[in-house]
Amino acid sequence: MLKLYPLFSGSSGNSTYIEFENKKGILVDIGKSAKKTHDALRARNISVNNVEAIFITHEHTDHISGLKVFISKYNPDVKIFGSAGTIGSMRKSGYLTDKNNVFEIKNNQVDLEFVQMKSFSISHDCAEGLGYTFTSKSGLKAAICTDLGYISKDVQSNLKGSNVVVMESNHDVMMLQNGKYPYFLKRRILSDNGHLSNDTCGKFLPFLVKNGTKNIILSHLSEHNNIPDLALQTSKYYLEQEGMTIEKDFHLSASSKEVPPEKFYSIEITT
């Protein structure tokens, strides 16, 4: 069993919870406050004590801001994983202390008793960003792939065969170009170290579906340069161009900043 819960998404904070057999689970990123994260888990009947590990993609605050308090207040035993570069940056800025259970990821792999994690590099303006895939004991695979400027061959091969993918669809290029962001920021977002546009994401999705992915969650949508419906329509367009039919061949959703209680959802995959 593998159950993925989108908790928060976008530049105001990112966090995803994935649950495996025996209710053991992991968080990928903790970009909202510890209290908000705790409350979001509790509202879904998940205890903070079931969070065995937190995998950090990179050190930008929208991915780590709740980390310090979450460890000290809610779960002192939780294991923290990240690349050497990410861990180094977080130590420098005081997000981690020597007392914390921190592990640098070696050889792109971590084996916990209930899940095997494989990581891959993402191209982003941070120290050493990572995307992650998590494979359950029964072979079910979930992937988290946000905060990247382009999709490398390595990203493609790591995502291949995932049952569910959380995929960045950050901005609509026209909205960004015509929007009010300063020029340097527009350039940063559009660069190879920035974020994926709706079109870049959409063009890539048929590859995933052809390789068995049934569930795609568009994520890290920009508040100012995107609209959930536009992101969904763009991806749907590219998938349908390749002859794929929504709900028959794949399920597509767009994650919101903060899912309101009446719209809580999770994606459960069983063998």
Beta strand pairing call for 130-136 and 141-145: antiparallel
User: Taking CB under 5 A as the rule, does residue 59 contact Zn ion?
Assistant: no
Amino acid at 176: L
Q: Measured from the CB of residue 58, what is the shortest distance to Zn ion in angstroms?
A: 6
Count of beta carbons in the 10 Å neighbourhood of residue 216 = 25
Q: Which residue has the tokens 């590859």?
A: 207
**Shorter beta-carbon distance to Zn ion: residue 13 or 206:** 13
- Is 60 one of the binding residues for Zn ion (CB under 5 A)? yes
**DSSP class of residue 50?**
G
User: Judged by CB under 5 A, how many residues of this single chain contact Zn ion?
Assistant: 3
Q: Does 147 bind Zn ion (CB under 5 A)?
A: yes
**Which span sits near Zn ion by CB under 5 A: 56-64, 109-117, 234-242, 244-252?**
56-64
56 touches 67 (CB < 8 A) = yes
Least distance CB 29 / Zn ion (angstroms): 8
Q: Which stretch binds Zn ion (CB under 5 A): 146-154, 168-176, 222-230, 233-241?
A: 146-154
Per CB under 5 A, 171 contacts Zn ion: no
| Per-residue contact flags (x/-) with Zn ion for residues 96 to 135, judged by CB under 5 A | ----------------------------------------
Q: Report DSSP state, residue 21.
A: G
DSSP H or E stretch at residue 237: helix 228-241
Q: Which residue is nearest to Zn ion (CB)?
A: 60
**Measured from the CB of residue 167, what is the shortest distance to Zn ion in angstroms?**
13
Q: From the CB of 147, what's the least distance to Zn ion, in Å?
A: 4
- Residue of 59, 62, 128, 172 interacting with Zn ion (CB under 5 A): 62
**Which residues form the interface with Zn ion (CB under 5 A)?**
60, 62, 147
